[in-house]
Amino acid sequence: MKLPSAVLILLTSSLLSGCFESRKNTDQLCEQTPELNCTVFNTSDGQCRIPRTDLIWHRYDMLKSDDEAMIVEDYYLLKEYRKCLELASQIQPIEQADLKARRFKALMYAIEEQQRITMELSQSTSPSSLYFLWTETGSHAARRQFLSMEGSNALETSFMQYALATYYISRDKQKTYELLNRSLELHQESEPVNKEVIQSLASVTQSLDRPRESYLWAMVGEQFDIPIAPENELRLLFGLKDSDYTELAEQAKNVSKAISNGEYSRQLTQ
């Protein structure tokens, strides 16, 4: 569930971070760690190498720690792998009669694993698992339980504040704005920046008729390499004075630096 953006050109994003280990290293890992059971991933197939590699290395990390956050991440990695396999299974391999069958078998394994994870987390009460169950399975019970935690320390993290904002976007724009700002205020320097928060702030401030701030967040997005509309289109959209654009572009640099350093405060955008 993502917040919409009218100003920024949205990119397909995910909570996932790609693993760029070489094929050779992954093969070595599989040989040295038989408990990974890499054969179920059809590792000899040239298709879906990147999502498969991400998944195998994550499974290796899970041998050391398999807390609920890791299990949720495992689900999303399986989801990416499954998406690739669904496309690859439509390809007619040449002179490899059993390759399509092995791809289908790997696809069934990914589907079954997603179902297993959903069942495993169905009794969880952690905020991240409840949000996962709500957004991935449509569980109304999980949504109610998640929303009942609003205002508690359990949701006082950057991502959980963003998660709350996804619920309020169609219900209360001002509250959404407050939650998105709080999300950035809770962001830690060691964490990757959630670009969707920045995209959403550009859109929400535009909806709240705050053109200066909306343009500011568009410029902050540009600092984080989020594609935006061409400058001439932005100027037509916002209709600010030339001096405003120069001032806001400089302000955006300070805001983006503060976000990266985990020092953001909403006063910086005033």
Q: pLDDT per residue over 120-160, tens digit each?
A: 999 999 999 999 999 999 999 999 999 999 999 999 999 99
Q: Where are the domains of the chain?
A: 26-121, 155-268
pLDDT tens digits, one per residue of 193-220 = 999 999 999 999 999 999 999 999 999 9
- What confidence score (pLDDT) does residue 20 get? 45
Given a contact cutoff of 8 angstroms between Cβ atoms, the answer to whether 203 and 6 are in contact is yes
Total Cβ atoms within 10 A of residue 94: 6
Q: Is the pTM of this model over 0.85?
A: no
- What confidence score (pLDDT) does residue 18 get? 40
Given a contact cutoff of 8 angstroms between Cβ atoms, the answer to whether 113 and 78 are in contact is yes
User: Is residue 209 packed enough to be buried (19+ CB in 10 Å), middle (13-18) or exposed (0-12)?
Assistant: exposed
Comparing CA positions, the residue from 155, 197, 148 lying closest to residue 176 is 197
Label residue 44 by pLDDT band (50, 70, 90): confident
DSSP 23-67: HHHHHHHHHH-GGG-GGGGTTT-STTHHHHHHHHHHHHHHTT---
- pLDDT above 80: residue 50: yes
Tokens representing 32?
A: 């040295």
Comparing CA positions, the residue from 116, 200, 188 lying closest to residue 156 is 188
Angle CA(220)–CA(222)–CA(225) in degrees, nearest 5?
A: 120
